[in-house]
Amino acid sequence: MYRSRLEERLAKWFELNDIPFEYESTKLNYQISAVYKPDFILPNGVLLEAKGYLKPGDRRKMLCVRDCNPDTDIRFVFQAPNNRLNKGSTTTYSAWAEKHGFLWCHANNIPMEWLQ
């Protein structure tokens, strides 16, 4: 039930001393302050993020960047958009981008309208 022996030991101590407590009964949001530097910024303000490999940390970062900058147009340029997120996943890089509202393209086929 507890994540560590220390937590279990503390819970027992609280119980022995008739101290009421709750264990992991709430969730708190937090934000880590960091800086994102887009790979490319086009004259029209579109940000392009070039990805050969879309690591889990990159996915979390890009969602946070988007959430913290909702008016910023961030688009992905994938080297291999049909690559899967990991070995066991059925989700491709392109499907992940679409699911999260990001426009994307293949590195060999950047739409000209993105550049205007």
* DSSP-based three-state secondary structure for 82: coil
Within 13 A of 40's CA, how many CA atoms are on the CB side? 14
> Average pLDDT of the chain?
94
Say whether pLDDT at 102 is over 90.
yes
Sorting pLDDT into bands at 50, 70 and 90, what band is 97?
Answer: very high
Q: Sort 6 into a burial class: Cβ within 10 Å, 0-12 / 13-18 / 19+.
A: exposed
Sorting pLDDT into bands at 50, 70 and 90, what band is 111?
Answer: very high
Which residue ranges form the domains of the chain, and what is each CATH number? 30-115 (3.40.91.30)
pLDDT digits (tens, 9 = 90+) for 25-82: 999 887 777 899 999 999 999 999 999 999 999 999 999 999 999 999 999 999 999 9
Say whether pLDDT at 10 is over 90.
yes
